[in-house]
Amino acid sequence: VTTGHASSSLLMQVTDMEIFQYLYCALFLVVYLSILLMSSLVVFVVCTEESLQEPMYILVCTLALNGMFGSCSFFPKLIFDLLTSSNTISYLRCLSQTYCILSFTYFEICTFTLMAVDRYLAVCYPLQYVIIMTNEKTLKIITGLLVATFIGVLVAVLLSARLRLCGRQIQNVFCDNPSIVLLSCTDSTANNLYGTTAIVVFLTITSIIIGYTYLRIFIVCIKLSKIVRNKAMHTLMTHLLNFSIFLIGLIFSFIRYKLNTIDLPLSVHFLLTISRFVFPPFLNPLIYGLRTKALKIKIVWYMQWLDRKLSVTGIY
């Protein structure tokens, strides 16, 4: 089958999940709504509380917003397909989903990296921190990273859009760039070169920055009192675990497409593939929101206020 036109449709591997399709559908719906609810709450509290409008909370808000963006790019289509036993997507929608998912992935790592730098400056240079990391500088950096992400991803998607495809079966439950390139029957050297170089350079730079900053924070934590050190180390390890889960899923997808020889059970393969859309967006509001004392206090206050309002109006 030769395709590559706006009217063409592609097939995805949703049919491999048909045995437990309604169970998957219900589970993903709960996860999706939970991500939207918790992330929206974090964003609302940070945006409405002037006392929380600081670089650290702005970054937490950014992470929550990006989590919602990534979830909205992934879950609705998958839930709909499971509910209706469908496995088709138009070529243009496939390219659109690819763009959104790639943008979410790269910007998520950018935000993780910026948060690591922010904590490094706050812990290692506490006196200069308020001068170095102002709200204005933080917003400018976030905007710059966002623009760079959108442009870089746009180049990758445009390179894929020019390809003529000789197949319809996407090797995934969602559209991503490697899946489209694999279907190509024309020269995709430029795609492979750009994609491989971009992800290797990007992950190398961000991993070095995150590794260095957390190592410096770890060294400072060793010198603190036992209670403060244990609390700081627990937070540090939680952050690293969350980032590692995201990274493992991304690296697995990259290696899987490059080697095409990974033989794993379908359940393991599926879990690793979707892990970056499920765990980080779900855990981020909990880790960075509810475990951050100042933010937690405000969230609890708003929840209690809402509870009182609902009780007064007699809704329940």
pLDDT tens by residue, 61-81: 999 999 999 999 999 999 998
**Predicted confidence (pLDDT) at residue 316 exceeds the cutoff of 70:** no
Would you tell me the crossing angle of helices 21-48 and 55-84 to the nearest 10 degrees? 160
> In terms of pLDDT, which residue wins out, 223 or 35?
35
Matching residue, tokens 């790639």: 102
Taking residues 274-298, report their average pLDDT: 80
Tokens describing residue 206? 């961000």
Taking residues 93-100, report their average pLDDT: 95
Provide the CA 180 distance to its chain's centre, in angstroms. Answer: 21
C-alpha–C-alpha distance, residues 209 and 221, integer Å = 18
**Predicted confidence (pLDDT) at residue 181 exceeds the cutoff of 80:** yes
pLDDT band at 2 (very low <50, low <70, confident <90, very high): very low
Select from 261, 133, 148, 270 the least CA-distant residue to 198: 148
Tens-digit pLDDT profile for residues 230-254: 777 777 777 788 888 888 878 877 7
Taking residues 150-170, report their average pLDDT: 92
Tens-digit pLDDT profile for residues 288-315: 776 666 677 777 777 777 667 666 665 5
pLDDT band at 10 (very low <50, low <70, confident <90, very high): low
- DSSP assignments along 61-119, one per residue: HHHHHHHHHHHHHHHHHHHHHHHHT--EEEHHHHHHHHHHHHHHHHHHHHHHHHHHHHH
Select from 68, 6, 69, 23 the least CA-distant residue to 41: 68
- Give the lowest-confidence range in 200-204, 226-230, 258-262: 258-262
| pTM, full prediction | 0.87
Q: Tell me what pLDDT residue 251 has.
A: 80
Tens-digit pLDDT profile for residues 129-138: 999 999 999 9
- DSSP assignments along the chain, one per residue: --B-STT-EEE-GGGGGGGGHHHHHHHHHHHHHHHHHHHHHHHHHHHH-GGG-SHHHHHHHHHHHHHHHHHHHHHHHHHHHHHHT--EEEHHHHHHHHHHHHHHHHHHHHHHHHHHHHHHHHHH-HHHHHHHS-HHHHHHHHHHHHHHHHHHHHHHHHHHHTPPBS--B-SSSS--HHHHHHTB-S--HHHHHHHHHHHHHHHHHHHHHHHHHHHHHHHHHHTS-HHHHHHHHHHHHHHHHHHHHHHHHHHHHHHHHHH------HHHHHHHHHHHHHHHHHHHIIIIIITSHHHHHHHHHHHHHHHHHHHHHT--
Contact between 105 and 249 (Cβ < 8 Å): no
9-313 CATH = 1.20.1070.10
Q: Tell me what pLDDT residue 98 has.
A: 95
Greatest mean pLDDT among 4-8, 165-169, 291-295: 165-169
Percent of the chain with pLDDT over 70: 84
**How do beta strands 88-90 and 9-11 pair?**
antiparallel
Tens-digit pLDDT profile for residues 14-38: 655 667 788 889 999 999 999 999 9
CA distances from 309 to 37, 301, 303, 316 (A): 18, 12, 10, 10
Contact between 82 and 24 (Cβ < 8 Å): yes
Taking residues 98-127, report their average pLDDT: 93
* Domain coordinates in residue numbering, the chain: 9-313
Partners of residue 90 on adjacent β-strands:
9
